[in-house]
Structure 1
Amino acid sequence: IQEEDFLSPSPELSGFGVCIDKGTFEAISLNPENAAVNREQYARAVRSVLKDDGLFIITSCNWTKDQLLSILCKGFDSAGAASLEGELGIV
């Protein structure tokens, strides 16, 4: 087990086939201190930890699908974005 600052992950934290978020983005994005900057850092971190063909799955009760796509799909191939049962999957 290794503790990481996900907004500034180490290079060793990479190569994952799947990344599942069930609350981390919510906590980061709703923090009033630097919320917009932290959302961008989070999106970059997700891209950096996933393999090129990796899958990112997020559940959210505070953001709509369109908002999540707008925030998190930057830097991903938009043709690979898919909606799964109200959750956002990026492949």
Structure 2
Amino acid sequence: RRNEGHGLPVLEHKGVSIDPAAHQVFYLGAAVELSQKEYDILNYLMGHIGHVTSRARLEEALYAWGSEVESNAVEVHIHHLRKKLDTNLIRTIRGVGYIIDEH
């Protein structure tokens, strides 16, 4: 599905919809307020469904090169996403990273 006039695809999976053009997230049809980092993590993972993404890769995608990143920053953002969305949407692969499963 495409957002009319913007050309950026709306990402939809397991009741979660991200509209990158409008910078909006919906869960089961209801708008969800996310911080910028939460949005960026969700957008990245939704764009890589079925692929494990390491914490280091998420940090690279989220933070400017050379910036200080708290050691548990990604984990905290993932925790907040799980509270705001389906707790089973983002799965932790211990010692490897995070994944949104295809099914």
Please report the TM-score for the alignment, with normalisation by the length of structure 2: 0.37
Give the structure with higher Rg (CA).
Answer: 2
Name the structure with the higher helix share: 1
Higher strand fraction (1 or 2):
1
